[in-house]
Structure formats: C-alpha cells, structure tokens
Structure 1
Amino acid sequence: MAAGLPALMLLLVAGLTAVDAVGVRVACADAAREAALAAARGEPGTVAGSRYAPGGAEVSVTVAGDRVTATVRAPVRALGARLPRLVVSGKAVAAVEPGAPGPVP
C-alpha cells in the first residue's frame, strides 16, 4: 500500500497536467480562429489573437495569396516546478473576404 501511493500521486499529477494542456490547446485554437478571421477582414490579426490567447502565448499570422493562416503557441506548466514545460498550439485558416481592404497580419 505504501509503495502504491507515490505511483498514484504521479498519475494524479500527469492527469491534471493533461487536463490543463487540453484547456490551453482549446484556448489556442480559439485565439487562432479569431486572429485569422480578423486578418481576413483587414483588421490586425495579431492584436485580435492576442486578446483571446492564453498568457505567455505567441501569435503569428501569415498571408499567402487569398488565405490567412494564424498560429498560436502557448506553454503549459506541468504541476511541479522541476518538470519541463509543454508547448501546445492551435492553427486556423481563413479565406480573405471579398471587398476587404486587404489582409493585415
């Protein structure tokens, strides 16, 4: 019984970290979607994505022809100070809207 307690704690930490990573990944996907849509409308996509991105995230927007691609990457801190950080990302693509002044990254 005493030997199983550390293994149980390790599984608990791994499970909580996985749940946190999924939440951050969803937030990254939402922020990427907002950034791509804003850039496709001619608004600054990086600014729009940063509003919805989780803390410490990097937002990048690229324009290629008639498509806008936004990528948001954010670190996920594992429960425990000595464990390495995980990095999750979300990506979204949007078509440039007709009549828009032009995509803005």
Structure 2
Amino acid sequence: MGKIKLNNIRVHAWHGCLKEESIIGSDYRVDLEVHADLSVPSKTDKLSDTVDYVHLNTIIKEEMDIKSKLLEHVAKRILDRIFMEIPKIKSAEISVSKINPPIGGDVESVSVTLSAKNE
C-alpha cells in the first residue's frame, strides 16, 4: 500500500450559507491524501498502473466549482466521485479550507476534514 498526496490546491469558489458568498466567492485550499496499491507502478513505471494525480486535481476543481452551502457537502462529493472514477483508491482523506471566512473575527481559515474507504 502507498499514498499519494495533493497539497495546498488553491481554488476560488462560491460555497457558504451567506448570499454574499455565493456572489463574491472565497478562496479555498484543498488537501487530499489517497491510499492505493502502488507496488505495480513502482515496478512498471506506467501511468496507467497508478493513480493519476492530474485526474484527482481535475475532480477537485470541478466539484469545487459546484456551489454548496457546507464544506462538508463539497468534501463528501469529492470523495464520492474519486471512489466512483478511480477504483484503485482504497481510502482517502480530504480537507477543505475556507481562507479568511466571514465569521466576524480575524481567522486565517476554517477547515473540514473527511475520511472514507472505498467499499
């Protein structure tokens, strides 16, 4: 078993419960860690034998582009799609962070982290 990590994916998206958030949007950071059997690609050196992190990044960007009220919802959608499209992945953990959230204080970010197994 091995892991692939995508760190600090930066996107601008329109998630939130406030009307202004769906109009102006906010900056987000996404961190993803997936676990898969990497023994074959470590020997073959073939992209087709591994988990393509370009595909993972595309899923994240496309799902972040769909408005959600809650970070929990968008994180779950990303995990569901990853498992549906990339069956080689056995488990994953994702953190979605809203940078400078509108919560009436000086807060760098708020984050939601979800973990799941591909069943």
Q: Tell me which interval the TM-score lies in, with the shorter structure as reference length.
A: 0.3 to 0.5
Query: Which structure has the highest helix share of the two?
Result: 1
Query: Which structure has the highest strand share of the two?
Result: 2
Scaled by the length of structure 2, the TM-score of the pair is 0.33
Scaled by the length of structure 1, the TM-score of the pair is 0.36
The structure with more radius of gyration: 1
